[in-house]
Amino acid sequence: MLKDDIQGIVYFGDNLDVLRKLPDQLADLIYIDPPFNTGKVQSRTQIRTIRSQEGDRVGFQGNRYRTIKVGTTGYSDRFDDGFLSFLEPRLIEAYRILKDNGTFYFHIDYREVHYCKLMLDQIFGRECFLNEVIWAYDYGARTKLKWPPKHDNILVYVKNPDNYVFNYEDIDRIPYMAPGLVGPKKAEQGKPPTDTWWHTIVPTNGSEKTGYPTQKPLGILRRIVRASSPVGGIVLDFFAGSGTTGAACLELNRRFILVDNSVDALKVMSKRFDGISSVNWVDFDPLPYQTSFPATRFSKWIGSQNGSRG
């Protein structure tokens, strides 16, 4: 388990292998954002520009700039008919690892959400289905052939529908659409969000951008972590990607366990957690991608951390 002086652990490896070695009843909250089975290669190319008379871009006051490709991150998001069989053993392990009063958030989109819900109903029980949260955004291209898909689905399950964490008073609030109708006190305080969350994606040129192709906004993870875990609790994300779950936990005084098998993901997380000595790395050396000193911790898998890899 996590030792007192460690706020987070990042594992590099197959998440099923890691999950099978984590103890029962470990996590207060589990959030996962698995591949969506889009049938595409998800990629993101990072560039920078330098001023050059022979440049391929024209900028301010007609100055020309040359584009330099910094690097590309990505992964194949295609499982054909094996998507559910890929997920099922991992979800069964997640159920075992979740505490009896814990909450599970499953982030997916319209392509697979209905099939995944049927499987989660079998694992958790239909009575333990708490919410379907819709994350709605208005960004990017729009098809003219159908209603443009501009939302993700987040299925929320609890292990015990009569006993789970939901920190209602701590949830971030949103403005009233008609503040004049509720009075100045309520208008200043704002109102709790509903199960439809309007939040932009991570902007291409925003300070939050890491270059990871499927990075989720920090605001979404802040809301989930704040609402559904206790201060000091353990949050598990075994499709960690760019590490947004860990970043939210660092802000909100939660501990975290992140798992990913992508070298690109671990490189991004290395930079994101640069200089944070309370993060321990297992089977991956972050130092070549970090600049701060003292260095973060790096250890090989020894399989004996209090009987688990957690």
Spatial distance between the Cα atoms of 240 and 201, rounded to a whole number of angstroms: 17
Q: Is residue 34 part of a domain?
A: yes
Spatial distance between the Cα atoms of 237 and 249, rounded to a whole number of angstroms: 11
Per-residue pLDDT of the chain (310 residues; tens, 9 = 90+): 687 789 999 999 999 999 999 999 999 999 999 986 755 554 444 445 556 666 665 554 566 655 555 444 444 445 566 889 999 999 999 999 999 999 999 999 998 999 999 999 999 999 999 999 999 998 778 899 999 999 999 999 999 999 999 999 999 999 998 888 888 989 898 999 999 999 888 766 666 766 677 788 999 999 999 999 999 999 999 999 999 999 999 999 999 999 999 999 999 999 999 999 999 999 999 999 999 865 556 666 544 333 332 3
pLDDT at 141: 81
Q: Is residue 309 part of a domain?
A: no
Same domain as 163, residue 117: yes
Q: Is residue 215 part of a domain?
A: yes
Structural domains of the chain, count: 2
- Identify which of 127, 131, 195 has the alpha carbon closest to the alpha carbon of residue 162: 127
178 class by beta-carbon count within 10 Å (0-12 exposed, 13-18 middle, 19+ buried):
exposed
* Residues ≥6 apart with Cβ < 8 Å to 60: none
CATH number of 99's domain: 3.40.50.150
Same domain as 267, residue 198: yes
- The domain of 46 spans 40-74
Half-sphere exposure of residue 119: CA atoms within 13 angstroms, side-chain side: 17
3-class secondary-structure state, position 90: helix
Q: Is residue 305 part of a domain?
A: no
pTM of the model: 0.82
Same domain as 130, residue 63: no
Domain termination site, one of 25, 53, 74: 74
Same domain as 177, residue 58: no
pLDDT at 200: 86
Q: Is residue 27 part of a domain?
A: yes
**Residue 190 dihedral angles phi and psi, to the nearest 5°:** 80, 180
Q: Is residue 219 part of a domain?
A: yes
Q: In which residue are the tokens 């706020």 written? A: 7
Q: Annotate 33-61 with three-state secondary structure.
A: CCCCCCCEEEEEEEEEEEECCCCCEECHH
Q: Is residue 310 part of a domain?
A: no
3-class secondary-structure state, position 131: strand
Same domain as 160, residue 172: yes
pLDDT at 37: 73
Q: Among the residues of the chain, which ranges form H helices?
A: 15-19, 83-97, 113-124, 184-189, 218-228, 244-252, 263-272
Spatial distance between the Cα atoms of 195 and 172, rounded to a whole number of angstroms: 13
**Residue 196 dihedral angles phi and psi, to the nearest 5°:** -115, 115
pLDDT at 181: 87
CB-CB contact of 88 with 79 (8 Å): no
* Residues ≥6 apart with Cβ < 8 Å to 261: 12, 13, 14, 15
Q: Residue 1's Cα: distance from chain center in Å?
A: 21
Q: Residue 110's Cα: distance from chain center in Å?
A: 18
Same domain as 292, residue 261: yes
> Could you tell me how many helices (H) and strands (E) the chain has, helices first?
7, 13
Q: Is residue 2 part of a domain?
A: no
Specify which residues 195 forms β-bridges with: none
**Degrees (nearest 5) of the Cα angle 164, 170, 175?**
125
Same domain as 47, residue 151: no
pLDDT at 42: 42
